[in-house]
Amino acid sequence: MEKIVLNKREVTGKRAGKLAAQAIVPAVVYNEKTESFNVQITLKEANWLDAHATSTTILDAELNGKMVKTVVKDIDHNPRTGAVRHVAFFQIDENKEMIFSIPFTLVGVSPAVKNNLGILVKTLQSVDVKCKLADLVKDIEIDISGLEHPGQTISISDISLPKGMSLPNEEHANSAIVTITQLQKIEEVTTTPVEGEEGAEAPVAETEETAKTE
């Protein structure tokens, strides 16, 4: 777990944009009680979060003199320069369940792909689950070694979620994670050259000499 200091921010609104000149990035922390706290972090910390923090990266944060656990919920970028201009954190209650987005990691080798029978398509990058912080994992591994033929699919309902996790929305149980699609056949088209085009046989002009030999 990483540590970060979330200092109280006095500058709000449009004036917060001027913090960039001081290498400071405005941020906000909110919780399940709908409370929110205006804070700020250094540009260096913001860039680190942008490069390394995922939906399951838990941060030990100092907030109002207390240590709390937070997760990055959103990072806003300047559309012109790409620079981080705002970060949103969510404060975690370790004793209560909350919704996390857990990424999928593919493991193994698909025989269908290995034998050039089909193409592996990852249709779902992550899944929302409900769990307590103690049961959180960084990813969910999907074994694709059983995918032998085109048309085979692994859906959320086909896997076992890690202990302590459940789906907040059961309607997503049938969502496909990966599938094997058929290879596209490339048909070889043979065209007949048209007279006058490159590659076409040029007509032979009849001369007196050729006429005599016929």
Q: pLDDT tens-digit profile of 58-90?
A: 999 998 889 999 999 999 999 999 999 999 999
Average pLDDT, the chain: 86
pLDDT at 192: 57
How far is the C-alpha of 61 from the C-alpha of 198, rounded, in Å? 72
C-alpha to C-alpha distances, 83 to 10, 77, 126, 133, 190, nearest whole angstrom = 22, 5, 26, 31, 53
pLDDT at 191: 57
The backbone torsions φ and ψ at residue 207, rounded to the nearest 5 degrees and listed phi first, read -115, 175
Lowest mean pLDDT: which of 66-70, 120-124, 143-147? Answer: 66-70
| Mean pLDDT (whole number) for 88-95 | 92
pLDDT at 64: 83
The amino acid that residue 181 corresponds to is T
Name the CATH topology of 2-93.
Ribosomal Protein L25; Chain P (2.40.240)
| Mean pLDDT (whole number) for 101-113 | 95
pLDDT at 213: 44
Is 19 exposed, middle or buried, given 0-12, 13-18 or 19+ CB atoms closer than 10 A? middle
The percentage of the chain sitting over the pLDDT mark of 70, rounded to a whole number, equals 86
Q: Which of residues 205 and 38 earns the better pLDDT score?
A: 38
Residues 58 and 92 sit within 8 Å (Cβ to Cβ):
yes
Q: In what order do the strands lie in the sheet with 98-107?
A: 126-131, 98-107, 140-143
Is 113 in a helix, a strand, or coil? helix
User: CATH 2.170.120.20 occupies which residues in the chain?
Assistant: 99-182
Q: Is the pLDDT of residue 189 over 60?
A: no
User: CATH 2.40.240.10 occupies which residues in the chain?
Assistant: 2-93
Q: Is the pLDDT of residue 16 over 80?
A: no
The backbone torsions φ and ψ at residue 81, rounded to the nearest 5 degrees and listed phi first, read -105, -20
Q: What is the CATH number of domain 99-182?
A: 2.170.120.20
| Mean pLDDT (whole number) for 27-49 | 92
